Amino acid sequence: MDVYSALLELAKRREIMVIDDASFPRSIRGFYSRMGDKHMIVLNKSLSSKIGPLILAHELGHYQLHRHKIAMDLYAHKDKYDFIEDEKYERQADAFAKRLVSFVSIA
Ligand SMILES: [Zn+2]
């Protein structure tokens, strides 16, 4: 199983809805959103096969690390660090994503 499929499976097991064919401007890569206990990750359909898994893993990081912390439940990403509610959360989600992708890659 490729990394992206493994991450999708992980999201499915946590009942996170993933929509990965959104027609956003290229500058918006994706976001994580929560409404109550419903979780959703929306990704730009233009993401390359190289970047897609990283963005999905980053949004899973927001789910894992920040879902109980964020008041405004929306993290949209243009480019790295340029749309920032809280830069610390972005760094944490990036670090989580790198670990998750490398873990899934060797699993
Ligand atoms: Zn983020």
CB count, 10 Å around CB of 69?
Answer: 9
Q: How far is the CA of 53 from the centre of ligand 1 (A)?
A: 14
The 10s digit of each residue's pLDDT in 24-77 is: 888 788 888 888 888 999 999 999 999 999 999 999 998 999 888 765 545 556
Q: Say how far residue 94 (Cα) sits from the centre of its chain.
A: 9
In a domain, 85, yes or no: yes
Residue 85 has pLDDT above 80, yes or no: no
pLDDT score at 20: 94
Neighbours of 14 (CB within 10 A): 10
User: Which CATH number fits the domain that encloses residue 60?
Assistant: 3.30.2010
Beta sheet of 16-22, edge-to-edge order: 16-22, 38-44, 30-35, 74-77
On whether residue 54 sits in a domain, the answer given is: yes
Per the structure, the complete domain to which residue 46 belongs is given by: 3-102
Predicted pLDDT at 105: 86
pLDDT: is 48 or 83 the higher one? Answer: 48
Distance from C-alpha of 44 to C-alpha of 38, rounded to nearest angstrom: 20
Distance between Cα 106 and ligand 1 center (Å) = 24
Domain count, the chain: 1
Q: How far is the CA of 27 from the centre of ligand 1 (A)?
A: 14
